[in-house]
A = this chain, B = another copy of it.
Amino acid sequence: MLSGAAADPDLIPFYPLLYVAWADGELTAEEAAALRARAERAGIDPDALSVWLDPETPPDPEQLLELLAIVRQRAPELSAVERSSLASLGIALAEAEGKAPTDAAREAVRRAEAALGLHASEAVASMLDAGRPVADLPEIEPRFDLDRMRRFLDGETVEIKDRLRALLDDGRFELVHGLSTTEYRAKVLEWCRALADEGLGALAYPVEHGGGGDPAGFVATFEMLAFVDLSMLVKFGVQFGLFGGSIHQLGSREHHERYLRAAGTLELPGCFAMTETGHGSNVYDIETTAVYDPEPREIEIHTPSPRARKDYIGNAALHGRLATVFAQLRVSGEDHGVHAILVPIRDADGSPAPGVHIEDCGEKLGLNGIDNGRLAFDHVRVPRENLLDRFAWINDDGLYRSPIASPAKRFFTMLGTLVGGRVAVGSAALSATKVALTIATRYGERRRQFGPAGEPERPLLDYQSHQRRLLPRLATTYALNFALHDLQMQYVAEDEDRRKTEAAAAGLKAYATWHATRTIQVCREACGGQGYLSVNRFAGLKTDTDVFTTFEGDNTVLLQLVAKDLLTGFRQQFGDTGGFGIARFIADRAANAVLDRNPIISRKTDPGHLRDAEFHRAMFEDRMNDLVYSLARRVRARIEDGMSSFDALVECQNHALTAALASVEHDILASILRAETDTPSSGVAEQLDRIRCLFALTTIERHRAWYLEEGYLDPPKTKAIRRQVTELCAEIRPQAVPLVDAFGVPASALRGTIAE
């Protein structure tokens, strides 16, 4: 411990504060006074403190180093929570020395830290770290209006996004690494309450029920939360999007009046209990039963087998009180398929409701801030009114009624209302991708490695292989930004063709989440060992986003929906029987194809042609159309040979997935091309043009085997495309940092990382 006047044990909790306050040599008289006032109120001897607090006679450097050594020596034993602020660090330090501070002293040091206006995690990092060992990021002059680019990427929801940037940066949403699962779950709940208090939870609900009437703003909120912490995002989504959203979308006026306000404020934490252990993507065949008993007008919810328990339900293990439970509804002995029913699962003091069995799913790869649980129901009874009855109800005579006659159509109508989840997950995945690219690109600019003998080492981004790893993914991220934005607008505009929106949401969700998984991995590798440290965020980004590829619909299953939709579109165009229409169409296609594939076009290799938007559009469109038509032919041929349509599709499954992805890529290109017609400045336009070229040409390059096989390209042209990609990377490289900065990732999301 310190010698002399400073050795007062009451001072120990203040050590970290004192060190940081002095370390930059800037303790002002006001700050000193504030510190002294807090300490004295806690009964600390003013003399002991004064030696530390006189701006005129600062403590000598040896004393400060002694302070630092004491703190650093203890720090490794402390938990992440204890290291989360200077005050908690000091309190833990005193406890470790056997001098547990009084409650007043604890309060005093906390208030003193607040009074100094220090940034908690930054200050702790500066105290505990030996200094930033990487080179400073060089100033890079943007060659375009960065702020206009950011607003352009933000799109129509730029205002709420800016509001959220400020909110997420106000100190309440600081990331803490190394929390235990229990602490992390509590933290995430606290964050969600803070968001609800800001009115963000209820943003999409009708104004008359305390909502904001702003579904676009709700999705934009999702996009922004994903920059910071994905457990917070998913908990927010479960409570306000899935649970509250199911009441909003599947319920009627009475349900809205009774529950929506409480759901939106988080007074009533809830669950969305759809998935069953034995039934993941196949919701149609879930087994939980809901049998109507006309006598007391109740519905009895029951889990008939272990396979039928509700599994992976967010909010279930700890916090949820009411659950939207999906079950097979049976009325007067007749099955009516899957319906949603509100079932209380816990009382106000947290005990499970009678007949409800709750289990904790335990540790997961990521998203451990969410309390996923399993629910099983043992003949649990709820009143008839708990059926969410927008699309079907039980009348006073105990008869089942629905305006939608076909059970299959009713099922898909109900599920269709959940398309918002997929829109949101795709958007969130893209935000996580943006964080990863921002960190890796900024690090690639500052980190130097190797170089010609006798010269300084070179920034990683100067290396061709490094550019090739990061920049095509940057370009795809830009393109996806516009595609997801188009999808959000399409989703919000309710008059649009729902089927089209559902297919687009399914396809983009799959594409964006896979893009996220792969890009985060590439970025993590591009940062070497630094990428592996939790503080640099890839750890959380990787493990948290990983499940995005399977939840809200498994990607492979979703792409099959897209393929089915493409086949449906194909059938609608040519009639169910095919016949003459198709034959003529195929003849037309063949003629077109000959035209497309004529040697002059397939061999043109000049850069002007290779960077031409029309060339890109044609290549993407031909690929999509060809794959869909050949898929339709192959499926039809099998059905005509007597195969069931299920088996016919299974036999063509890989083909179907390829066709679906081609149609998603086609739509993404269309979105960035549409955006290009609307750029706010020529600087922005110049960048976007290059980015679209890189997206289009790397996509074509990835599929070049197919283009070669089908005769759209010949080898000299595919090689010319490869050279163009390399050149585009070199052209984009000098502006790489401004281009990621334009994503507008909030500062709090990068604090303490190698990107800072």
Q: Could you tell me which A residues sit within 8 Å of B by CB distance? A: 72, 76, 80, 129-134, 177-178, 180-181, 275, 277-282, 285, 306-307, 309, 311-312, 317, 357, 359-366, 374, 376, 448-453, 457, 462-465, 468, 517, 521, 524-525, 528-529, 531-535, 538-539, 542-543, 546-547, 549-551, 554-556, 644, 646-647, 650-651, 653-654, 657, 704-705, 708-711, 715, 718-719, 726
Contact = CB atoms under 8 A, between A and B. Distances in A.
A691 to B, nearest CB: 20
Given A133-B306, A452-B644, A726-B654, A524 B546 contact: yes
Given A277-B133, A306-B131, A529 B715 contact: no
A674 to B, nearest CB: 30
Contacts of A726: 654
Contacts of A657: 465
B452 A647 contact: yes
A277 B529 CA distance: 9
A243 to B, nearest CB: 18
Contacts of A551: 529
Given A654-B468, A705-B708, A517 B521 contact: yes
A162 to B, nearest CB: 32
B362 A177 contact: yes
Nearest to A455: B646
Contacts of A133: 277-278, 306-307, 309, 311
A365 B543 contact: yes
Given A534-B365, A709-B719, A710-B715, A528 B359 contact: no
Contact of A715 (B131, B365, B711): B711
A533 B451 contact: no
Contact of A464 (B453, B555, B653, B718): B653
A181 B77 CA distance: 11
Contact of A453 (B277, B311, B646): B646
A365 B532 CA distance: 5
Contacts of A538: 365
B543 A528 contact: no
A716 to B, nearest CB: 9
A547 B532 contact: yes
Nearest to A275: B529
7 nearest CB pairs, A to B:
A365-B539, A705-B705, A133-B306, A363-B534, A709-B715, A452-B646, A708-B708
Contacts of A309: 130, 133
A362 B535 contact: yes
A65 to B, nearest CB: 12
A154 to B, nearest CB: 30
A538 B546 CA distance: 11
A658 to B, nearest CB: 10
Given A133-B277, A468-B654, A528-B554, A534 B709 contact: no
Contacts of A374: 130
Contact of A539 (B363, B468, B535, B653): B363
Q: How many copies does the complex hold?
A: 2
B654 A465 contact: yes
B529 A547 contact: yes
Contact of A450 (B282, B307, B533): B282
A506 B168 CA distance: 45
A518 B184 CA distance: 29
Contact of A531 (B376, B517, B550): B550
Contacts of A452: 644, 646-647
A539 B463 CA distance: 33
Contacts of A178: 181, 362-363
Nearest to A547: B532
Given A365-B534, A525-B554, A705-B708, 9 more contacts: A76-B317, A282-B449, A363-B539, A365-B524, A365-B533, A465-B654, A531-B550, A532-B550, A709-B715
Nearest to A718: B709
Contacts of A528: 280-281, 550, 554
A658 B366 CA distance: 34
A360 B646 CA distance: 57
19 contacts: A131-B306, A177-B362, A178-B362, A180-B180, A275-B529, A280-B449, A280-B528, A281-B528, A282-B450, A365-B539, A451-B646, A452-B644, A463-B650, A463-B653, A464-B653, A525-B549, A532-B547, A704-B709, A705-B708
A188 B82 CA distance: 25
A480 to B, nearest CB: 20
Which of A131, A133, A307, A542 has most chain B Cβ within 10 Å?
Answer: A133
A24 B705 CA distance: 59
A467 to B, nearest CB: 9
Contacts of A180: 180
B535 A464 contact: no
Contacts of A711: 715
Contacts of A549: 525
Contacts of A535: 362-363
A306 B130 contact: yes
B312 A529 contact: yes
A455 to B, nearest CB: 9
A365 B542 contact: yes
B364 A539 contact: yes
A132 B277 CA distance: 10
Contacts of A525: 549-550, 554-555
A362 B715 contact: no
Nearest to A527: B550
B556 A546 contact: no
A556 B525 CA distance: 10
Contacts of A181: 178
Given A281-B449, A525-B550, A705-B705, A532 B364 contact: yes
Contacts of A462: 650
A451 B72 CA distance: 61
Nearest to A72: B359
A550 B447 CA distance: 15
Given A362-B534, A542-B365, A708-B715, A465 B653 contact: yes
Contacts of A361: 533
A76 B312 contact: no
